[in-house]
Amino acid sequence: MALLAYLKSLFILQLLMGFVFVVSGLIINFIQLCTCVLWPINRQLYRRINCRLSYSLWSQLVMMLEWWSGTECTLYTDQATVDKFGKEHVIIILNHNFEIDFLCGWTMCERYGVLGSSKVLAKHELLKVPLIGWTWYFLEIVFCKRKWEEDRETVFAGLDRLKDYPEYMWFLLYCEGTRFTEKKHQISMQVAESKGLPKLKYHLLPRTKGFTTTMQCLKGTVTAVYDVTLNFKDNQIPTLLDIVNGKKYKADLRVKRFSVEDIPDDEQECANWLHKLYQEKDALQEQYNKEGKFPGPTIIPPRRPWTLLNFLFWATVLLSPLIKFACGVVVSGSPLLIIGFITFLIIASVAIRRLIGVTEVKRTGSSYGNQAKKQK
């Protein structure tokens, strides 16, 4: 086990895995670009193809979590809820406290067959991120600038297009709008006090506009809302770099299903429902901190081999010529070729590190409560 942990920490192996992800992502993006000719001819065929292509990319990240790091994911829910997973269009409400909360969500999506068709209401800045933003663009992800005056038409149009989506989709909403930090929490609770709303201890005040708009636009398409609360055993705070280094965690996800029929149609009442939900989530978090677990029965969905097989396919296709080329460079003895190859490795490592930086709490998130950043 010690040897395996050492191998996982080797930079060269991590770099090779990053190389596979980046190059395969670029190939996938190019294929996605080629599929655009299908959009005016057969939109549903375009969507089905892009669901498979995006799965091929995202599943490599899921593989990192469940096979490379060996992180375990336990569901706290009932069997009746699990039986509906992957068989209906739903809205997912997830707390936004960790760098890898999206990765745990994707893992559940993969295990229930909806990874390729999973959606999210994403901040517009991510559209510019190579691979991630580009893949999401072809997947019809809804982007917003978090300025309702500018977002109104874009969000309504984007959600309206998803009404006839051919694959079952899980539409993720981070209703808090940004990752939880102590500074943002202080500002958020000042807003709650000014609006006469109950204060939350473990969450930011939910931004209701995105939720009410999504419910309004996808009415008749989504049949349920899944409230998901994520925590890690022993109060651990994992990072994507930890996962890359092969560190194992134990994730607990509490899932509660609400039928859309039980959620008010009126915008204000729907917003009030969301505020009440977050008060319940806060109490649930308090209970988890005291007992180290969520209430209710547990289910551990088994990991599937497809993420590992998908990665092995791309690794075989891409690493064989790379290793052959590297051997040729060394054998040639040419200083120019060797320097050029080393430069390529440095550039590649920097690029991969910057992609990982997209998930880091201290480097990302909105300007929530930061007036200087907003003015800039």
The answer to whether the beta carbons of residues 170 and 118 sit under 8 Å apart is yes
Cα dihedral 45, 48, 18, 171 sign: positive
Structure tokens at 76: 């706290």
Prediction pTM value: 0.89
> Which is higher by pLDDT, 365 or 329?
329
- Could you read off the pLDDT of 19-55 as tens digits, one per residue? 899 999 999 999 999 999 999 999 999 999 999 999 9
As a whole number of Å, the end-to-end CA separation of the chain is 49
- Could you read off the pLDDT of 100-134 as tens digits, one per residue? 999 999 999 999 999 999 999 888 888 888 888 99
What per-residue confidence (pLDDT) applies to 360?
Answer: 56
CA distance 92 to 172: 5
Query: 345, exposed or middle or buried, with CB in 10 Å at 0-12, 13-18, 19+?
Result: middle
Q: Check pLDDT > 50 for residue 364.
A: no
> Which is higher by pLDDT, 123 or 272?
272
pLDDT category of residue 254 using cuts at 50, 70 and 90:
very high
Question: CA dihedral in degrees (98, 292, 211, 204; nearest 10)?
Answer: -60
Distances (CA, A) of 104 to 89, 153, 210, 363: 19, 31, 22, 20
**Average pLDDT of the residues of the chain:** 89
Mean local confidence (pLDDT), 149-176: 91
Domains plus CATH for the chain?
21-306 (3.40.1130.10), 309-358 (no CATH)
